Structure 1
Amino acid sequence: MNLLVVPFHDWRKISQEGFRTRDAHFIEAFKKKSSITQIIINRPTTVLEIFLKRMGQPIQGAVIHSQNNFKLYQIEPQVYVIDYVSGDVFGQIFKGHAWFIQHYENPRYTAFIKECLLKLKVEEYHLLNQNIFAAKLSKNLKPITSIFDAWDNFTKFEVYKKYHKNILEAYAEYARICDFWITNSKDNTESFSIQFKPKNIFLIKNGVEVSRFTKEKTFTIPDDIKDIPRPIIGFGGKISHLIDVDLLNRTMEKTPNVSFVFVGQILDKAIYKSINKVENFYYVGDKHYDDYPNYVKSFDVGIVPYVIDKNKTSGANTIKVYEYLAANKKVVGTHGNGLEDLQDYVYIVSTADEFSEELNKANNEKLSLNFEEHTWDSKVTELLKLIQSA
């Protein structure tokens, strides 16, 4: 099977940080399928963005075809990356995310993609698009099957508020042209079905690569947390608008006898600034995904202090919960964000008092999750079955 994949994140960023996001996990799981030749259509970028985001390391692979600003890399025997580095630096600066929409639609990029397919002797292919800004690209290609991965609801992301109209148009475009959608949560399945009415929409939740997080695998407590007083209450993930800062601040105030350790990228600086930097709060920075499991294994409890307001949530089915559970950690989180489906395995709270009370209990009386249906391999197997039936 020939599979074109359009990830949300730049291939350089994925390589630099490790395969830790949903789109990257899908790519990594597809790589393990010997029956699949995977062609990744990379996000357009510029030299300036590569420099500013410290993605300067060249794409690892052999260039087997190039033309002006476009290159085709062979990464592995059955994995290819089509890359586009535009010279339109000022356009990217002034247009923001609208620039990506424009350049995914660039007829020269589409023509180069088709040229690469000819060079690789790919006549028939399926297309999995995981990028809300790349709807025009899906429209301009001619796959056997066209799929959109509607992970999270981008209409609710404050950071993309300026592009709300563009995002609505993209969802509507995907609804028209795609054979089916997949999404990561029941909330999204319901809201997307009502608002955009795709032909078909299927639930494929997030998963976990269990072998990375299992406690049986030897690990070392990272140097930057080994001297932090225990118990360690850990959060591993992006610091974004999803965090309920008021709840977190009140919980930390009520639980001074534990250490709150945050590991991950700061996406929303205002949210991070509004977190009270009390004595028992520790932010240790972002970590490569190869190093990150050592932090999770070092937690005593994993937390998900997310907002529960329907207007602020994004239909998330948070990956970190599966990672905590794979490391056999007690998990405490708030309602929503896919936790209700895991209520037999995690503690769900509503208030700071409940949160603090649960964090002070060492016991974990919840069931252990059977991960057979929660691996990334099982998720892409679900998707492949949908493609075959389509």
Structure 2
Amino acid sequence: MHTIPAKPPPAVLAYPMHGQGKFTTEGYRTRDAHLVEWLGRLTGGRGGVAVVSRPEPVVLRAAGALRRVGGPRGDGGGVAAGTHPVETTTWRLPDPRDRRRWWTRSADAYPGLPDDWRDVPAVVWNPFTALALPRSNPFVTGRTTVLDLLDDWSVHHAFAGIRADVERAYSAAFASACHVTANGEGTVALARRFGRDDVVLLPNGCDPERFDDTSAASGPLTVGYVGKIGRRLDLDGIIDCIEAEPEVGFVFAGPVLDRGYRRPLASMPNVTLLGDVHYDDVPALLRSFDVGWVPHRVGSSGGSPGGEVGGDIIKTYEYRAAGLPVLTTPVDGCDSRGLDGVTVLPLDGHAARLGGWRRSGPRVARRPSVIPHDATWRPKAETILAAASGSPSPVAEAAR
């Protein structure tokens, strides 16, 4: 562990799920990234946000730096305005036989904080920080800490091998957090399981000004999915839908996380796999779609692979900000976020709906929509900042 060199305290400390490397490589596209961006904008004039990344091995960090390409954003180098990355490296190495264990092993490598940063409030997305050494731990007594929940990692398939460690981290984080906010009904249930009945539901959103409802779609009816390609998607249902509508083009933009998904999708003649797309390029990509697709699995995973993992789906907001009609499976919250233009059907009904659009198309008219104010990122960041700044509870702000 090393200590952050003495420097003026920031307005806020931020502990994202991963860190600045991900933000720079992928663009600020995840919940923690969007909120960090806005916290930087809101506090840039009074110290900004210190982004304390999950520690990375020195060797892997150097290799990753060679691959990273940061677009012009904020004050340069792909770093959001008003935010300041904190160096978080370690000479430790992950065990190649059990890489998930790095979530726990890296906790002790978080940098120590200067003494005059002790009262700086913290917003935390990585619960494993609650297991860090006292000098590095954002949950120390005297600091106002907001724990903002992403997915429920206790049922997420990616954390199945370290389930006991996840439970231990959550227990410590929930016991010490001053405020808890959650992005969906599943994460609200998670907080309540650990005794936090004061949890505030604060669903995801978007920055609608980044998108426009111009269509550049051409060729056959184009159904697009933007996001990670893995076990949250119902592969069998997706294949059935694609086979049932061979005259429809299906575009998947995102990294393939599970190898079993690549070959079945790549083998289909009406499927295009684009690979990962930087977030700065997503608005232009959405112009090429006719329909925004959310073919997610439905229901609780109950600790087994697959199923919902407690979170909210950002892409639905972004599809609608781009004027795309949305076709989604009935995941939690899909019909209760104040969005219009969203068709909710079980996956086995998607082919029929797409066939109807195709026969009356091939284009599907854009459906421009005004995204509700409370479905945008700024008021969510303001709610979290109010809590971090000493508000007795974020409930009043969240209800605005």
TM over 0.5: yes
Whether 2:159 is the aligned partner of 1:160: answer yes
* 1:4/1:128 contact within 8 Å kept: yes
Q: How does 1:1-390 map to 2 (within 5 A)?
A: 2-34=11-43, 35=46, 37-50=48-61, 53=64, 56-57=67-68, 78-89=82-93, 91-106=94-109, 109-111=110-112, 114-115=113-114, 118=116, 122=117, 124-137=119-132, 138=137, 141-193=140-192, 195-198=193-196, 200-215=198-213, 229-275=219-265, 277-311=267-301, 312-342=307-337, 344-352=340-348, 354-362=349-357, 368-387=369-388, 388-390=390-392
Q: TM-score, normalised by structure 1?
A: 0.83
Aligned partners of 1:271, 1:58: CA distance in 2, in Å?
27
Amino acid at match of 1:147: V
Q: CA deviation at 1:199?
A: 5.8
> 1:26·1:380 contact (CA, 8 Å) conserved in 2?
yes
Assess, with a 3 A threshold, how the Cα gap between structure 1 residues 298 and 270 changes in structure 2: closer, same or farther: same
Cα distance in 1 for residues equivalent to 2:318 and 2:166: 30
- How far the C-alpha of 1:76 sits from its partner, in A, is 7.8
| TM-score, normalization by structure 2 | 0.81
Work out whether residues 296 and 327 of structure 1, in 8 Å CA contact, stay in contact via their aligned partners in 2.
yes
Q: Which moved more, 1:272-281 or 1:151-160?
A: 272-281
Number of equivalent positions: 358
Question: Which runs of 5 or more residues in structure 1 are unaligned?
Answer: 61-72
- Contact between 1:105 and 1:136, CA under 8 Å: does it hold in 2? yes
Given that 1:254 and 1:356 are in contact with CA atoms closer than 8 Å, whether structure 2 keeps it comes out as yes
Question: Which whole-Å deviations, capped at 9, do the CAs of 1:260-290 have from their partners, x for residues lacking one?
Answer: 0000112222233444731111101111111
Q: Secondary structure at the match of 1:361?
A: helix
Residues 16 and 52 in structure 2, CA contact (< 8 A), matched pair in contact too: yes
- Deviation, 1:123, is 5.3
After superposition, what is the alpha-carbon deviation per residue over 1:30-84, rounded to whole angstroms, capped at 9, x for unaligned? 1211456211111100133235656655999xxxxxxxxxxxx9x6884322112
Which residue is equivalent to 1:69?
none
In 2, Cα distance between equivalents of 1:140 and 1:183 = 18
Q: In 1, distance between residues paired with 2:233 and 2:190?
A: 22
Distance 1:57 1:351 in 2: 36
Q: Which runs of 5+ in 2 are unaligned?
A: 1-9, 72-76, 302-306, 358-363, 393-400
Query: Do 1:179 and 1:199's aligned partners in 2 also have CA atoms closer than 8 Å?
Result: no
Partner SS, residue 29 of structure 1: helix
> CA–CA distance in 1 between the matches of 2:271 and 2:127?
35
Q: Secondary structure at the match of 1:284?
A: strand
RMSD: 2.8
Query: 1:344, 1:301 → 2: CA distance?
Result: 14
Kindly indicate whether structure 1 or structure 2 has the higher relative contact order, using CA contacts under 8 Å at least 6 residues apart: 2
Q: Deviations over 1:79-117 (max 9, x none)?
A: 32211221223x4535523233233224xx443xx22x6
SS state at 2:280 partner = coil
Q: Contact 1:229/1:258 (CA < 8 Å) preserved in 2?
A: no
- 1:365 to partner: Cα distance: 10
The structure carrying a bigger strand percent of its residues is 1
The 1-side partners of 2:81 and 2:353 are apart by 49
- Structure 1 Cα separation of the partners of residues 327 and 97 of structure 2: 42
Identity over aligned pairs, percent: 23
Query: Which residue identity is paired with 1:293?
Result: P
Q: Could you tell me how far 1:292 is from its partner in structure 2? A: 1.6
1-side partners of 2:265 and 2:131: how far apart?
A: 39
**Counterpart-to-counterpart distance in 2, 1:275 and 1:21:** 25
Q: Secondary structure in 1 aligned to 2:96? A: helix
